[in-house]
């Protein structure tokens, strides 16, 4: 599936048209996770659909979900902008950002410098760079480019071997361990445990995908996660504010 998504991205890039500058001032994504509101940081994802689960939210409104996430005490937002596989849009990111005061991650499959420009123009405060999708030297170039344009970067990996290759090039402030294998879609929230001893001092570890319960949160904290990225389990609730409170054991 990852290779299918990446092939399609290349065709999108060939048809790239520079978007209008949304003129949305940058917000500090990394800092928000460094000083989270609770004992573990929360990136709440605005996600309509996914290749593994199909449609997750029928009545989808990026502004409403983003606002509810903020009311529930999320530290940051993640907004899926890929349209073919996740039914996202670039405009969802700008709308979610306008509706809240939270820093926003653009969740997409970045493989080219023009997508860094695009992310900046639509208002992203951070971008995702997937270790399994990029040669480490290109990943490092894209990382520096994002930084030059005032954005943070969440460097995501699924395997320790890929992280080791990336660490020869850069020392990312934010390292995401994706609990989901993007080829089989299997999730294992214990994945972060395999990275013990590999996360540089000063980097924040974000556990991503497959987090559904307070017990899951407690488990990933044990494995050293500073923050979590949660999409489906929050989006499936009617009210995302309440969903966050339930996830943290503050409501039933
Ligand atoms: O979610 C998928 O099915 C998926 C498939 C292929 C590539 C990426 C995919 N997801 C992107 C993500 O990383 C997740 O949206 C994010 O970590 C939240 O996961 P979840 O809480 O399980 O919705």
The string of pLDDT tens digits covering residues 135-193 is 999 999 999 999 999 999 999 999 999 999 999 999 999 999 999 998 888 999 999 88
CA of 178 to the centre of ligand 1 (A): 8
Put simply, whether the predicted model's pTM sits higher than 0.95 gets the answer yes
pLDDT of residue 139: 98
CA of 98 to the centre of ligand 1 (A): 24
The count of domains in the chain is: 1
Q: Domain range for residue 122?
A: 2-14+29-247
Q: Which residue carries 């979590």 as its tokens?
A: 228
Domain annotation covers residue 200? yes
SS3 41: strand
Instruction: Judge contact between 45 and 79, C-beta under 8 A.
Output: yes
Domain annotation covers residue 8? yes
CA of 181 to the centre of ligand 1 (A): 9
Domain annotation covers residue 22? no
Question: Do β-strands 76-80 and 126-130 pair in parallel, antiparallel, or remain unpaired?
Answer: unpaired
The CB of 133 under 6 Å from ligand 1? The reply is: no
Ligand 1 atom closest to residue 208's alpha carbon, by position in its atom list:
17
Looking at the chain, the number of H-run helices and the number of E-run strands are 10, 10
The CB of 230 under 6 Å from ligand 1? The reply is: yes
The CATH number of the domain holding residue 109 is 3.20.20.70
Distance CA 82, CA 128 (A): 12
Name the residue at shortest CA distance from atom 14 of ligand 1: 209
pLDDT in tens, 115-139: 999 999 999 999 999 999 999 999 9
């Amino acid at each position: 599936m990852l290779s299918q998504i990446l092939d399609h991205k290349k065709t999108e890039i060939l048809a790239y048209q520079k978007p209008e500058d949304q003129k949305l001032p940058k917000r500090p994504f990394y800092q928000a996770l460094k000083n989270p509101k609770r004992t573990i940081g929360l990136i709440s994802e605005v996600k309509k659909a996914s290749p593994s689960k199909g449609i997750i939210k029928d009545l989808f409104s990026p502004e409403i979900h983003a606002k509810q996430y903020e009311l529930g005490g999320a530290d940051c937002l993640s907004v899926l902008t890929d349209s073919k596989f996740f039914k996202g849009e670039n405009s969802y990111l700008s709308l979610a950002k306008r509706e809240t005061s939270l820093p926003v991650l653009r969740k997409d499959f970045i493989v080219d410098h023009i997508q860094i420009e695009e992310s900046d123009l639509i208002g992203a405060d951070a971008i995702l760079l997937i270790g399994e999708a990029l040669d480490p030297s290109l990943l490092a170039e894209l990382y520096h480019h994002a930084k030059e344009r005032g954005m943070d970067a969440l460097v995501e990996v699924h395997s320790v071997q890929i992280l080791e290759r990336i660490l020869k090039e850069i020392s990312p402030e934010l390292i995401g361990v994706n609990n989901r294998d993007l080829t089989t879609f299997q999730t294992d929230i214990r994945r972060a445990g395999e990275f013990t001893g590999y996360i540089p001092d000063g980097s924040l570890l974000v556990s991503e995908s497959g987090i559904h319960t307070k017990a899951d949160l407690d488990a990933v904290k044990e494995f050293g996660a500073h923050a979590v990225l949660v999409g489906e389990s929050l989006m499936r609730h009617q009210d995302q504010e309440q969903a966050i409170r339930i996830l943290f054991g503050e409501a039933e």
